[in-house]
Amino acid sequence: MRDFKLVDTATGEPLTIEFLLGNPGYERFVLFYKETLNRLGIEVTVRLVDVQYENRLRHWDFDIVVDSWTETLSPGNELRDYWGSQAAVMPGSRNIIGIANKAVDALIQQVVFAKNRDELMAAARALDRVLLWNHYVVPQWIYGLDTSVVFAGECVDLIRNVKPAAAIVASIVHEAETALRSNLPLAR
């Protein structure tokens, strides 16, 4: 710490974080972090880009972004692209976090090959716990119990019961539980 700024002790460089945004509607969700991080001595910038956004995501050229991962009523193969180790090294995959974790890969396999709802629920819950425990994301939205709609960019203000907060994102488990309550068949 030097002059109320966190610095690298070896180089003297200040700790800086950039929020990269592709949607101006997200600014209101990240600006409250800026003040808090500044108080901790971290320099924060918020950069809104348009055409560059997807290219920077594809090549992991960012510090922090706002994103969501939509889910089906019965999660399955899409989880490999969101969280799987193979996708972590594929430019343009949905694994923008770069998660390469053998436990996550094993749990994805259990979800994909679940033979019944009980297996699906157990595997989805376990995967959800492992992803949350590793702090890969800072959850941003709370969904009301009557809402099974997944966050969709600029539709934030149109979805009922959505509140920005550090709480559980509409997770894999929520969607699997919705499928269970509606007694829908497992999707493959």
Confirm if 35 and 140 have CB atoms less than 8 A apart.
no
Instruction: Give the C-alpha distances (Å, rounded to integers) separating 127 from 42, 84, 115.
Output: 32, 11, 17
pLDDT of 101 strictly over 90: yes
Q: What is the pLDDT of residues 46-96, one digit of tens each?
A: 999 988 999 999 988 999 998 887 777 788 899 999 999 999 999 999 999
pLDDT of 103 strictly over 80: yes
- pLDDT more than 70, % of the chain: 74
The label of the residue with tokens 């099974």 reads: 148
pLDDT of 125 strictly over 60: yes
Q: Mean pLDDT for the chain?
A: 77
pLDDT of 25 strictly over 80: yes
* Distance, C-alpha 117 to centroid of its chain: 25
pLDDT of 16 strictly over 80: yes
Confirm if 47 and 20 have CB atoms less than 8 A apart.
yes
The pLDDT, as a whole number, for residue 142 is: 55
